[in-house]
Structure 1
Amino acid sequence: MAKRIAWWVYVLCAAIGLVAGVGMAWMSERHGSNMIAAPWIVSVLMVVLGLVVLYLAIQVHKYTTTDPKKRAALRTFIDPDKAVNTLVLAKALVVAGALLVGWYAGQACMLWKHWEIGYYRDLMIECGVAAVAALFDMIIGMISEWLCQLPPNEGPEHPHVKANQSRHRPYVATKDGR
């Protein structure tokens, strides 16, 4: 059974991305090379990717929460491989989104001191848009990960079943008759 990604993993990934983004911008500035931010198409593709993963997660959620007798009416069959792959995509989207938020935010922070120069201002705006797109992907990944959870079954581990078993436990006498 897959577990949700812990909150500290998001923070750690964003911090690693931030350090890497700041380091890359600093190295680029120090060596006099041109910095290349994220082209607009990258931000658009990140948003489209997030929407595709969300669509797949909604399909998995709809299938798993529908009564088994009514699933035929959905006319969709979600095989276990597709469901697991959707969950893996959602988890990857969260981690990649967190890393990229830090990466682009770090670059944008380093460009702030050159705001008055048009080239750097454009790069900073591109990095800001890419950071927002990565944050969108991170949030969509969290939602998709939640949507891919299986509903609890009525097996022996279900909380309602455990509560009923403990209340209706038959009386068993011990050796001393109590």
Structure 2
Amino acid sequence: MKPLKPWVLVLVAIVVGLLGVAANAFAMRSSAPTPVLPISAIGSMAVIAVVTLGLGIRVLRWRTGHRSHMLDPIFAARTLVLAHACAYAGAVLLGWHGGVIADQVPLLASRAGTPAVETALLLIAGSVVMVAIGFIVERFCRIPPEEGDDDGLSEGGRTPDTEGGLA
């Protein structure tokens, strides 16, 4: 599996942010409520982040020598996929709520402290945590380089762009 690329996550956040701006503008013209997730979504984001981090720590502990039994490679691969999903979900939520806030900027002076903006700011903070945990757990799931690699070349004769492959 290929490692996360920060520029792809930034691109996802920008595209979804533009959609958030458009959705908020449409909601304001329609006199609909601001399109942000409820405050309870922060709890769901926290559960996802903690579970991802917990599974990643389990893989890291095995990698660092706590090997009473063999680690299931499917478990490590699923943990890596969960880390990627956590990072992408964080980027989507960051973009959406960032776009909503960006569209609300002209109105913030007249109605500062609106609950929707405060909730969006909290969700942005949670999104940044999710992206960070995605990168951290991905790092935990890296396979160390083989001991026989003296020249640092991979099987195809190319130099690896990371210190080791991913699970």
Q: Aligned in 2, Cα 1:130/1:154: closer, same or farther, shift over 3 Å?
A: same
Q: Secondary structure at the match of 2:114?
A: helix
Verify the 8 A CA contact 1:98 1:134 in the aligned structure 2.
Answer: yes
Q: What does residue 71 of structure 1 align with?
A: 67
Q: Aligned in 2, Cα 1:161/1:17: closer, same or farther, shift over 3 Å?
A: closer
How many aligned residue pairs are there? Answer: 152
Superposed structure 1 runs of 4+ greater than 3 Å apart: 159-162
What runs of 5+ residues in structure 1 fail to find an aligned partner?
163-178
The CA deviation at 1:141 is 0.5
Q: Aligned in 2, Cα 1:3/1:40: closer, same or farther, shift over 3 Å?
A: same
Normalising to structure 1: TM-score of the pair? 0.77
Cα RMSD for the two superposed structures: 2.0
Distance 2:138 2:120 in 1: 26
Q: What does residue 87 of structure 1 align with?
A: 80
> Which is richer in helix?
1
The CA deviation at 1:65 is 2.9
Distance 2:43 2:151 in 1: 46
The CA deviation at 1:87 is 0.1
Q: What does residue 14 of structure 2 align with?
A: 15
Confirm or deny that 1:35 pairs with 2:42: no
Q: What does residue 123 of structure 2 align with?
A: 130
Normalising to structure 2: TM-score of the pair? 0.82
Verify the 8 A CA contact 1:104 1:130 in the aligned structure 2.
Answer: yes
Confirm or deny that 1:26 pairs with 2:25: yes
**Residue of 82, 88, 106 corresponding to 1:113:** 106
Q: What does residue 159 of structure 1 align with?
A: 150
Task: Read off the aligned partner of 1:144 and give its amino acid letter.
Answer: V
Task: Read off the aligned partner of 2:12 and give its amino acid letter.
Answer: C
Question: 1:27-83 CA deviation, whole Å, 9 max, x = no partner?
Answer: 1112222224221110121122112101101111111231xxx612xxx65311111
Of residues 95-104 and 36-45 in structure 1, the stretch that sits farther from structure 2 once superposed is 36-45
Distance 2:106 2:114 in 1: 10
